[in-house]
Amino acid sequence: MSRILIVDDSPTEMFRFKEILAKHGFDVLEANNGADGVTIAQAEQPDLILMDVVMPGVNGFQATRQITRGDKTKHIPVVIVSTKDQDIDRVWGKRQGATDYLTKPIEEMLLIDVIKQNLDTE
């Protein structure tokens, strides 16, 4: 069973992601800010990370860059899931190392499809 780390500071979004992922048989790890997300990614080595962008302190772009460039975590796919939906945000997210970029509110089956695609590339 794949383990997915959700990094999001919104309790509502965290609840929704956990509900969707549990329904589809994924184990879920949680971090409510970018700094904790990086630390948990290093310690727990999840199979994939869902990353919000707008968070206090270390934002999702910064956390994605740290994870995708860190020796212990660069193999972990990071999918950004954000309310920021401008083309420049998508380009910047990919430049930080994100494998995919989805916008909220997210459609359940699209999220699951993207997760499965990213898990299959390992």
Instruction: Identify the pLDDT of residue 31.
Output: 98
Q: Is the pLDDT assigned to residue 9 strictly greater than 70?
A: yes
Q: Is the pTM of this model over 0.85?
A: yes
Mean pLDDT of all residues in 91-113:
97
Instruction: Identify the pLDDT of residue 121.
Output: 54
Confidence of residue 61 (pLDDT cuts 50, 70, 90): very high
Structural domains in the chain (count): 1
Q: Assign residue 10 the CATH number of its domain.
A: 3.40.50.2300
Give just the sign of the alpha carbon dihedral 37, 49, 107, 16.
negative
Query: Whole domain around residue 56: which residue ranges?
Result: 3-120
**Peptide linkage before 77 cis (omega within 30 of 0):** no
